[in-house]
Chains A and B, each alone.
Chain A
C-alpha cells in the first residue's frame, strides 16, 4: 500500500483550505479538504468516450486488491469510459516509469497512478501532462506540481492523530514502542514525525522505534525481542495495524497484558480487539483508515477534468478514526483479517473478492 513515498511537501502549498463534502455514495463519512487552487476547465476538456490508464506501482496486498476492485467497479458505472487499462509496476521504479510512458504512447485520455517513487515518476507524468493527458496521482504523492490533480490522506496528520489518541489512552504517561513499515519508506517517516509532535511535552517514553514492514509476522518477532528487553510496555504506536496486531500477538504469546495500540483500518486488529477486549481491560485500539476508495476519488477527479469541470489541485481525504466506540460498525467478522474495512465495496463484493 505505502511504499517509497517522499515526504509530502505539497500540503503546505499556497492556497486556502476549503472544506468539501464527501462523495455521497461512498460508505464513509470522511471529509475532504481542497488545497492548491483549482485546475481544469477548458484546458483539460475532451470528448468522450474516454480511455483511462492506471499505473499501479505494485499489487499483491489486500489494500491494493480492494483499491483496484473499487476502481474497476466505479469504472463499470461510467458509460463514458470506453476502456480502463491497468498496468502493474511489480514494485519496480523503472518499470513503472516505462509503464507511464507506454500509457502516454497509447494516447490515453487520463493516467491515474500510485507511485513506487514519487520522485522517479514525476518526469514521466510531466511529459504526459504536457502532451495534454490528464494525470492524477493518488495515495502516494508525486514530487513537483506538473501533474493535473492529486488525492490521498496526510500521513503526518495520521501519525499525529494516532499518537494523540495513544497519549490520551495512557493519560499522558507511559512507556511505548513504535512500529513502522518498510525500512526507509517516507510514509512512515512522515507519520512518525507527526506522532512525535503529539508526544512532545508528555511523559510518554518511546522505548524503541522499529521497522516491522507492515507484516504481522515481522511485527510479532520484533515485539517478542523488545518484550525481553523492556519489562514495561504500556502502549504501541504503529502506522499500520498489521504491525499493531502482530505486536499484540507477541504480548499474548508472552502472557503479557494487551495494551492500547494504533494502526490503520486492518480487519485483523478489529477482530483481535473483538476477541480479547473483554478479558484484557487495558486493551484499546485506534485505527485511522487509509481508504481503499481513494481510487474512486481519483477516477472521479479525472472524469470531471475530462468533462471540463474544475477540481482542486489537491484533494486531501480525512480518514475515519475507528476506536472501541465505533469498531462494531466497521468490523468484518466473517471476512479475513487482511480486509481493509474503510471500503466502498459491498459485503457481497468483498466476499467474492476474498473467496
Chain B
C-alpha cells in the first residue's frame, strides 16, 4: 500500500489530529488530560455540526457563506422564544430550524434555478440574515435559555459532553445519508460533474437545493448547541464560523471543486481547528499567530490533497 493510498484511506486529517494532539501534549502536558480532551470535544461540537452542513454545500461544488448569519439568527430566535417566563423550548428550537430551512431553500433556488454563483447568493443571504437579526432585536437582543436546553451545550452523559455526543450522532446520520443512500451517491455525482449527472438522468436541481437546505439546517443545529453552551443572545455570534466552517471542511479533505470528500474528514477538520485554537491558547500564542497558523494549515492541506489527487490520477493512467 502506497503512502498516498494509506493517507487517503485513513484520512490524512486524522493523522494530523493525532500528531497535533501528541505534539501539543509535549508542549503542554495539560493538553493530554482527560478534562482538556473532553473540553476540546465539547467546544469542537459547535464548529463540527456547522461544518457538516458546509460539507454538503462543498460536495456539490458550491459554498455556503450564510452559515454565519444562520447561526446568529438561530441564537437570536432561540433565546427570544425560550427566554423569560413562559418561554418555550419547543418554539425556541422549531422556529430557528424552520427559518433555516427556508434560508437554505432560498439559497438553493438562487443557485440551482436562478443560476447565481453560490458565493454571491449565500454571501447575500448572510447579509440579509444579519440585517434581519439587527432589525428584529433593534440592536438590543434579549432572552435566554431554559435549564433543560442548556444541558445540551453544557451537560454531559456518562461523563461525555452532550454536545459532542450530538455532534457524533449527526455525523453518523450524515455519513449514512451520503455514503449509503441513492441520494448520497447522486449528490457526489453532481458535485463531480453536474452535466454528466444530468445526462444520466439525475434530477440535479432538487439535489442542489437539498444540499443548501441541509447546510442551513445543520448550521442552525450548530447554532442551537452554541446557544445552549452560552445561554445568551449575542449579535454576531455566528461570525466565527464564516471562515472556520469552510476551513474545517477543506482541511478534512473535501474538495472545493466538489464530488470528493466526506463527513469523516470534516469531523477531523473541526477537531483539528479547535485543537489548534486550544493549544495556542494554552501556549499563550497571540491571536495573530493563531490566524497565521490556521491559514497556513489550510493552504498546506489544499496542497497535500492536490498531491494525493495527482498521485491517484498518475496511478490510474499507468
**Interface on A for B, CB 8 Å cutoff?**
59-62, 64-66, 68, 183-184, 207-211, 215-218, 220-222, 224-226, 228-230, 246, 249, 253-254, 268, 335-338, 353-355
Residues of B within 8 Å of A253, CB to CB, are 154
Kindly state the separation between the CA atoms of A225 and B286 in the bound complex, as whole angstroms: 14
273-298 of chain B: CB within 8 A of chain A: 277-278, 281-282, 284, 286-288
Sampled A-B contacts (10; CB under 8 Å):
A66-B140, A211-B287, A215-B234, A217-B230, A228-B278, A230-B30, A254-B35, A336-B144, A338-B234, A353-B140
Residues of B within 8 Å of A68, CB to CB, are 139
Please state if A268 and B232 are interface contacts (CB–CB under 8 Å). yes
Give the number of residues in B that approach A within 8 Å (Cβ atoms): 37
> Known: A211-B287, A228-B31, A228-B35. Contact between A65 and B138, CB under 8 A?
yes
Please state if A229 and B30 are interface contacts (CB–CB under 8 Å). yes
How near does chain A come to B244, taking the closest CB pair, in angstroms? 12
Chain B residue nearest to A350 (CB atoms) is B140
Q: Which of A207, A209, A336 contacts B142 (CB 8 A)?
A: A336
Please state if B282 and A226 are interface contacts (CB–CB under 8 Å). yes
> Known: A65-B138, A225-B282, A354-B142. Contact between A60 and B39, CB under 8 A?
no
Kindly state the separation between the CA atoms of A229 and B279 in the bound complex, as whole angstroms: 10
Please state if B282 and A183 are interface contacts (CB–CB under 8 Å). no
Please state if B278 and A62 are interface contacts (CB–CB under 8 Å). no
Is B236 an interface residue when CB atoms closer than 8 A count as contact?
Answer: yes
Please state if A59 and B139 are interface contacts (CB–CB under 8 Å). yes
Residues of B within 8 Å of A183, CB to CB, are 286-288
Residues of A within 8 Å of B281, CB to CB, are 208, 210, 222, 225-226, 229
Chain B interface secondary structure, helix, strand, loop or mixed?
helix
Residues of A within 8 Å of B226, CB to CB, are 217
Is B33 an interface residue when CB atoms closer than 8 A count as contact?
Answer: yes
**Interface on B for A, CB 8 Å cutoff?**
28, 30-31, 33, 35-36, 39, 43, 130, 134, 137-144, 154, 226, 229-230, 232-237, 240, 277-278, 281-282, 284, 286-288
> Known: A61-B139, A209-B284. Contact between A217 and B237, CB under 8 A?
yes
Kindly state the separation between the CA atoms of A253 and B140 in the bound complex, as whole angstroms: 27
Residues of A within 8 Å of B287, CB to CB, are 183-184, 210-211
Kindly state the separation between the CA atoms of A217 and B154 in the bound complex, as whole angstroms: 12
A sample of 12 more A-B contacts (CB under 8 A), given A220-B229, A228-B30, A228-B31, is: A61-B236, A62-B139, A210-B284, A215-B237, A217-B226, A221-B43, A222-B281, A225-B278, A229-B30, A229-B281, A338-B233, A355-B142
Please state if A228 and B138 are interface contacts (CB–CB under 8 Å). no
How near does chain B come to A193, taking the closest CB pair, in angstroms? 16
Residues of A within 8 Å of B141, CB to CB, are 62, 336, 338
Chain B residue nearest to A217 (CB atoms) is B230
How near does chain A come to B216, taking the closest CB pair, in angstroms? 21
Q: Which 6 interchain pairs have the tightest Cβ spacing?
A: A65-B139, A228-B36, A225-B281, A183-B287, A229-B30, A229-B282
Kindly state the separation between the CA atoms of A220 and B163 in the bound complex, as whole angstroms: 15
Please state if B134 and A229 are interface contacts (CB–CB under 8 Å). no
Kindly state the separation between the CA atoms of A208 and B279 in the bound complex, as whole angstroms: 13
Chain B residue nearest to A220 (CB atoms) is B230
How near does chain A come to B175, taking the closest CB pair, in angstroms? 27
Please state if B142 and A224 are interface contacts (CB–CB under 8 Å). no
Please state if A224 and B39 are interface contacts (CB–CB under 8 Å). yes
Chain B residue nearest to A59 (CB atoms) is B139
Please state if A225 and B143 are interface contacts (CB–CB under 8 Å). no
Please state if B278 and A61 are interface contacts (CB–CB under 8 Å). no
Kindly state the separation between the CA atoms of A216 and B240 in the bound complex, as whole angstroms: 13
Kindly state the separation between the CA atoms of A228 and B279 in the bound complex, as whole angstroms: 10
How near does chain B come to A67, taking the closest CB pair, in angstroms? 10
Residues of A within 8 Å of B144, CB to CB, are 336-337
Please state if A228 and B140 are interface contacts (CB–CB under 8 Å). no
Kindly state the separation between the CA atoms of A215 and B230 in the bound complex, as whole angstroms: 10
Please state if B138 and A217 are interface contacts (CB–CB under 8 Å). no
Residues of A within 8 Å of B36, CB to CB, are 225, 228
Kindly state the separation between the CA atoms of A338 and B142 in the bound complex, as whole angstroms: 8
Residues of B within 8 Å of A64, CB to CB, are 139
